[in-house]
Amino acid sequence: MAFTIWTKHLRHSPRNPKWMGRDRFILSGGHGSMLLYSLLHLTGYDLPLEQLQNFRQWDSITPGHPEYGLTPGVEVTTGPLGQGFATGVGMAITSSHLAATFNKPGHELIDSYIYAIVTDGDLMEGVASEAASLAGHLSLGRLIYLYDDNHISIDGSTDLAFTEDRAMRFESYGWHVQIVDDGNDVDAIDKAIKAAKTDLRPSIIMCRTIIGFGAPNRQGTSKAHGEPLGDEELNAAKDNLGWEKEPRFFIPDDVLAFYRKAVDCGRELEADWKMRREAYARLFPDLGVEFNRRILMGKLPEGWEAALPTFPADAKGMATRAASGKVINALAPKLPELLGGSADLAPSNNTKIDGTPAFQKDSYAGRNFHFGVREHAMGSILNGMAIFGGLIPYGATFLVFADYMRASIRLAALSHYPSIFIFTHDSVGLGEDGPTHQPVEHLTSLRLIPNLTVIRPADANETSQAWKVAIENRHGPTVLALTRQNLPTLESPALVEKGAYVLRDYGTPEVILMASGSEVSLVLEAAQKLADEGKGVRVVSFPSWELFEKQDEAYRESVLPKNIQKRLAVEAGATLGWERYAASVIGIDRFGASAPAKVIFERLGFTVENVVEQSKKL
Amino acid sequence: MAFTIWTKHLRHSPRNPKWMGRDRFILSGGHGSMLLYSLLHLTGYDLPLEQLQNFRQWDSITPGHPEYGLTPGVEVTTGPLGQGFATGVGMAITSSHLAATFNKPGHELIDSYIYAIVTDGDLMEGVASEAASLAGHLSLGRLIYLYDDNHISIDGSTDLAFTEDRAMRFESYGWHVQIVDDGNDVDAIDKAIKAAKTDLRPSIIMCRTIIGFGAPNRQGTSKAHGEPLGDEELNAAKDNLGWEKEPRFFIPDDVLAFYRKAVDCGRELEADWKMRREAYARLFPDLGVEFNRRILMGKLPEGWEAALPTFPADAKGMATRAASGKVINALAPKLPELLGGSADLAPSNNTKIDGTPAFQKDSYAGRNFHFGVREHAMGSILNGMAIFGGLIPYGATFLVFADYMRASIRLAALSHYPSIFIFTHDSVGLGEDGPTHQPVEHLTSLRLIPNLTVIRPADANETSQAWKVAIENRHGPTVLALTRQNLPTLESPALVEKGAYVLRDYGTPEVILMASGSEVSLVLEAAQKLADEGKGVRVVSFPSWELFEKQDEAYRESVLPKNIQKRLAVEAGATLGWERYAASVIGIDRFGASAPAKVIFERLGFTVENVVEQSKKL
């Protein structure tokens, strides 16, 4: 399968792994990483043999599972099963969208195929089912997945747990299904890939293979899955295949020469694409400029920030989810790369871009995306959109359902994918839907993920600034946690990019009240009350721990001076971790309740009276 | 659908909601909770009309989504989509297992059907796909799911995102698929349910329905999904259906009398079952006693703890996952209710019970369960097993993949399901597989979930005790976090149930070193070194925050005296939260790396030298 894809179909340029006109290849079963590293080395990527010999060692760029951004030519981080499968769907969506946006008849600059080798484990994972259903719905014909149907998983035969009719299942999703009886038959696979290219549906080619093929005593068994072959069996395999036993890493010159033709071939593909791009730019100068900006340079348009709305102070205010919807719609005309949607909660998440169609199979240029009730696939698809190039994707659901897509969020953070996750209904403040829908531990559990920026804005203006941070953060994912309920729009100028800032000082502060999101206006009220009693109070709005930790010592000291240790944090979520900043916390270390928001907040201590009381205790 | 199930098929006893012989009914689309509450009220459960009138109010037992344990007759917490679907599969597995274990020809004490009404949203969720594939594989004929095929989701028509051929998809899983063209046709549904009962496969009956049926201006639209009808449309609906407008909650006497027949009917079913149970106990006295203990009383056998193994001190020791495997096998003969397995990592998770077959469609009495690579379904299925009665289920994967099943874990905690989650490979100590497989933030993110007990044992003996806690914890889920790598078996007697305990004092402690799991032996070494230099050191083994927080103040003070604030915590995971107990933390606030475990630990500061140095700094 790999040989056929890499030597007969894949358009790529090993000396320029980021060449935008390339096809993408995904090894969804990332535990086979050495296959990918071998292909990259053989075809001339900057991955010397020493790196292969240094497999899975500290500081090597050949880790146990492929990592995006670490190894040239690795298109996506894989290992957690199903993720490669679903991320590829995001790439195919992006390819289709950019093609619909930029291509002109005779000028098909964007025509990437997304190839993947997928495994039994991938197909068993729910995230792949979700993504496959969506890919079929959207008729993503540029997806060509080869299924390594080897009948073996770690526990043993796939007959132990996986006997569904896979071909029928993919047909039910609307895929083009082909079967290759012998996964070592290059011609049959080649023919199937050619047929896949001409079919308008996504394609899966089910290739019957033998795991550990060539290792005479291990092939076809689960031992070939996770255990090293060992020297003896490796020798037996080499004997069996008529291969030299020494050196252990042996590449015949003619083999290397054959594979390395990919370098020149890639240069030619690039040169041809460049020529076509120049012709396109001459014929369609505006589109050419935009193509250059969005696709080749990946730059934001000059002065885009001017489109960020500001909101006048207003006691009634609005929900931050509503503010987010306004920001999206203010930015959308200036940032055509902004595309996104919701996991079937668009009216609740306020994600719709007005006046643009949905992304559907007959309208790939559409920018409103319907993920369906498929949070996990949404996460992985956003990741694929974020790394293909040319898009700034966002996806939304309720904060509590971040749990469904946590594996995708983590991979985005690990791999520095600039995905934007919008999570509304961010506390018990959502009210009557009750504890199954009320996040409690979620903010902190997301803050725990390294390289993930979590922002919980306090009002409409902080929401606008939070979007600015998210759009400018191109080296990792961003979470926006937004309210269902209305919040006052505050008077003070917001300063989200600092993570925390002094919202107001009442006299000379003896105590600091800090809060995020919906609790900021609560502590402001409490502070006013304390000030009325002659107390000195500082109110700190604290929308993001991660952004605050990035500030220098002097700034952090200016906001939270060491000499004021009487500090109370207020957040409608788990208290854990606020100890870093505060001496005392009003939070929620239990599940929520089904009741009107006002009642819940009162019962759980989120009242001006309680904040005042806890402050006085300090 | 509900009428047909509840008045023509469901065997239940409203005055004894926990009657073990009953069928189970699951409303998987929990947002329709009022349907379920209405049925419970009408059929005579202890749910007075006032509770329905107090819908979604503080202290009512009619929350926005049904909650297990709160409302009599609610069999499972639903709302997060797909969970009800998958949890029902766990119930059907349990029903099949108990039937295979206890039933004798002519004495079918266990023959529960699992009915559910499932929705578009359920079918779109990956967790349902995973569970459906497994249910088909296992031929769980006692599953009868009615699909509320109303063509509407929150975003609008299901045509926006969900156009797969659902019937074909379920056929591919090996389900029995029937279609009812009119979801209001009671006879057609009745006939389909009867056919489902005689089919050996799990059944899905696809019923074409109209959302908001009867509300003349809303039916068939997405507005009928999430928005209240409002008074005007409610009146229009009542007019349309020929119903009294006042009182707003109006139940005609004859209707109530009709439904309330369920009470007497239930008593008769119970009486008949009791008679059959007594006959069974006479004929099969040993089984009768066991049935009584396991199924009716849900009690552990007397003296079962004697089977818990202890391990002699041993410097080489063993991995805690290996110790866990030994505990499982030591307990399995004494606790026949212990049943579990792994999401295709059994050899790595050490979950296999030796000498017992796998649970398969031709061996439902088997106790080794193959979940396949389906972590999320595993979580929900365990929950279903845990609440059906008669089983103590466990399921395993790598700790990093707890992310895939987090929604199920949370529901278990919220609903007090006694599921046991075994997560091995619990740190960067798993080595070469690298950051995609190395948990970092996971321990703390699990500790954040209310009512979840997380235990990370330090050696084989703590592992044995952790299992004791897990098995005795029948009011919530337990997580066991276990190592891949070997750990010394320590000399000191373990005391896991206290959460934290003094493992050793060297002199009069000036400093406390605390650690969990694999880091305990590390801090012991460091303590010895400090003691050799004449320092007074206490070593605290800290396997579980939750268990420690349950201890009284005096005990906690005895372990962590307030007058010793020089405290260092060492754990191979995120540092956040350890501030509660320690002044300083050696932890990991970054992603891991692919390298041998020893190298990673050294590079990240998990060395005797660094622990000594950080202690001295304190």
Q: Average model confidence (pLDDT) for chain B?
A: 97
- The answer to whether B79 contacts A433, with C-beta atoms less than 8 Å apart, is yes
Mean per-residue pLDDT, A243-254 = 92
pLDDT digit string (tens) for A293-310?
999 999 999 999 999 999
d(CA A569, CA A583) in angstroms, rounded, equals 8
In chain B, which residues have their Cβ closer than 8 Å to the Cβ of A404? 80, 125, 406-407
pLDDT digit string (tens) for B498-511?
999 999 999 999 99
- The answer to whether A160 contacts B434, with C-beta atoms less than 8 Å apart, is no
Distances (CA, A) of B495 to A197, A325, A479, B145, B459: 63, 53, 41, 46, 12
B181 burial (CB, 10 Å; 0-12 / 13-18 / 19+) is exposed
Task: Supply the pLDDT for residue A282.
Answer: 98
Nearest CA in chain A to B160: A370
Q: B492: pLDDT confidence band, cut at 50, 70 and 90?
A: confident
Query: A300 with A48: CB under 8 angstroms?
Result: no
Query: A400 with A374: CB under 8 angstroms?
Result: no
How large a percentage of chain B has pLDDT more than 90? 97
- The answer to whether A373 contacts B81, with C-beta atoms less than 8 Å apart, is yes
Query: B145 with B118: CB under 8 angstroms?
Result: yes
pLDDT digit string (tens) for A198-211?
999 999 999 999 99
Written as six digits, the tokens of A380 are 């992985």
Query: B468 with B305: CB under 8 angstroms?
Result: yes
Coil vs helix vs strand at B390: coil
- Relative to beta strand A486-489, strand B453-455 is unpaired
Is B15's pLDDT higher than 90?
yes
Q: Find the CB nearest B137 among A67, A154, A163.
A: A163
Mean per-residue pLDDT, B27-49 = 97
Is A155's pLDDT higher than 90?
no
In chain A, which residues have their Cβ closer than 8 Å to the Cβ of B372? 124, 153, 160-162
d(CA B121, CA B81) in angstroms, rounded, equals 6
Q: A407: pLDDT confidence band, cut at 50, 70 and 90?
A: very high
Q: How far apart are the first and last CA of chain B?
A: 67
Give Cα A547 distance to the centre of its chain. Answer: 19
Task: Choose from B54, B70, B124 for mutation: most chain A CBs within 10 A.
Answer: B124
Enclosing H/E stretch for A53: helix A49-53
Classify the C-alpha dihedral A296-A299-A303-A307 as positive or negative. positive
pLDDT digit string (tens) for A145-154?
999 999 988 8
- The answer to whether A434 contacts B165, with C-beta atoms less than 8 Å apart, is no
In chain A, which residues have their Cβ closer than 8 Å to the Cβ of B435? 63, 67, 414
Task: Supply the pLDDT for residue A226.
Answer: 78
Strands (E), B444-576: 453-455, 478-481, 486-489, 501-506, 511-515, 537-541, 567-570
Mean per-residue pLDDT, B246-266 = 96
Positions of A marked active-site: 375
Task: Supply the pLDDT for residue B429.
Answer: 98
Written as six digits, the tokens of B601 are 């630990």
Is A82's pLDDT higher than 90?
yes
pLDDT digit string (tens) for A16-62?
999 999 999 999 999 999 999 999 999 999 999 999 999 999 999 99
d(CA A433, CA B443) in angstroms, rounded, equals 29
Task: Supply the pLDDT for residue A440.
Answer: 98
Is B227's pLDDT higher than 90?
no
Nearest CA in chain A to B66: A436
Nearest CA in chain B to A133: B164
Q: Find the CB nearest A56 among B130, B445, B595.
A: B595
Q: Find the CB nearest A589 among B121, B165, B450.
A: B450
Alpha helices by DSSP H, A432-484:
442-447, 460-472
- The answer to whether A373 contacts B129, with C-beta atoms less than 8 Å apart, is no
Active site residue B270: no
Task: Supply the pLDDT for residue A473.
Answer: 97
- The answer to whether A124 contacts B404, with C-beta atoms less than 8 Å apart, is no
* Residue A514 distance to chain B (closest CA, Å): 18
Task: Supply the pLDDT for residue B417.
Answer: 98
| Closest C-alpha to B324, from B223, B230, B461 | B461
- The answer to whether B344 contacts A161, with C-beta atoms less than 8 Å apart, is yes
Nearest CA in chain A to B346: A155
pLDDT digit string (tens) for A425-450?
999 999 999 999 999 999 999 999 99
Distances (CA, A) of A417 to A385, A402, B429: 9, 17, 26
Written as six digits, the tokens of A371 are 């993920």
Q: A222: pLDDT confidence band, cut at 50, 70 and 90?
A: confident
Task: Supply the pLDDT for residue A184.
Answer: 96
Task: Supply the pLDDT for residue A315.
Answer: 96
Q: Find the CB nearest A599 among B58, B137, B580.
A: B58
Enclosing H/E stretch for A478: strand A478-481
Predicted model pTM: 0.98
Is B405's pLDDT higher than 90?
yes
What contacts B196, CB < 8 A, 6 or more positions away? Answer: B144, B176, B178, B203, B205
- The answer to whether B168 contacts A168, with C-beta atoms less than 8 Å apart, is yes
Mean per-residue pLDDT, B318-334 = 98
Task: Supply the pLDDT for residue B222.
Answer: 87
Q: Which of B375, B462, B519, B546 is catalytic?
A: B375
Mean per-residue pLDDT, A322-351 = 97
In chain A, which residues have their Cβ closer than 8 Å to the Cβ of B125? 126, 130, 373-374, 404
Task: Supply the pLDDT for residue B594.
Answer: 98
> Looking at this predicted complex, what is its ipTM?
0.98
Is B225's pLDDT higher than 90?
no
Q: Find the CB nearest A63 among B226, B434, B596.
A: B434
* Residue B135 distance to chain A (closest CA, Å): 10
* Residue A596 distance to chain B (closest CA, Å): 7
Cis peptide before B14 (omega within 30 of 0): no
Nearest CA in chain B to A604: B58
How large a percentage of chain A has pLDDT more than 90? 97
